[in-house]
Amino acid sequence: MKTTFAAFILALTLTARAADVTVTLTDVHLCCQSCVKGVARAVADVAGLTAKADEDAGTVTLTGPDTATVQKGADALVAAGFFGKSSDAAIKINADTGAKNQTVSAIKIEGLHLCCGKCVKAVKAALDTVPGVTGNTAAKGAKSFEVTGNFNDKDVFDALQKAGLTGQEK
């Protein structure tokens, strides 16, 4: 009887694990171990979620008991300033930045992950691709920074997201 019960519990455990939802986010900006740790901090409060960041591949793999948990993890990463492409259409990556798709002379960006000089370099390289951007104040550890010139605000966020980063226009 005890053997049958133990086998039943083992079968339930294996079934539960087989039902886990896993998604891989690709093209995420992960230039250093501080970025990897930033991913772990971002999802730490999502109960039942595990995250594995692969710095070399630029991927974050999220696994949870259900789609809702994995979606919370993806949302937490975006809120922490990371961005990527989802391998599962059921897991949506929120690309809403507050940009109004209009020409502006300056915007303030908050919430973008800037843990080190490589992050700042990636931001500056992304902004260099946006027509009309003439300057920015991105700096290591900054909670916000300004972009200046004569440019479309949405183009700025499109370039940042292409680089695996995101933030909010404030």
Residue type (1 letter), 93: I
Low-confidence residues of the chain, pLDDT below 70?
1-18
**Domain positions in the chain:** 16-86, 103-169
Q: Which residues contact 159 (CB under 8 A, 6 or more apart)?
A: 126, 127, 129, 130
Q: With CA atoms as reference, report the closest residue to 34 among 53, 49, 50.
A: 53
CA quadruple 133, 143, 64, 46: dihedral, nearest 10: -150
CA distance linking residue 119 with residue 55, whole number of Å: 13
Fold match, 16-86 / 103-169: yes
**Residues forming beta bridges with residue 21, ordered by sequence position:** 64
In the prediction, which pLDDT does 7 show? 44
pLDDT of residue 152: 98
What pLDDT is attached to residue 18?
A: 57
Fold of 16-86: Alpha-Beta Plaits (3.30.70)
For 103-169, CATH number out of 3.40.50.1950, 1.10.1070.11, 3.40.50.1110, 3.30.70.100 equals 3.30.70.100
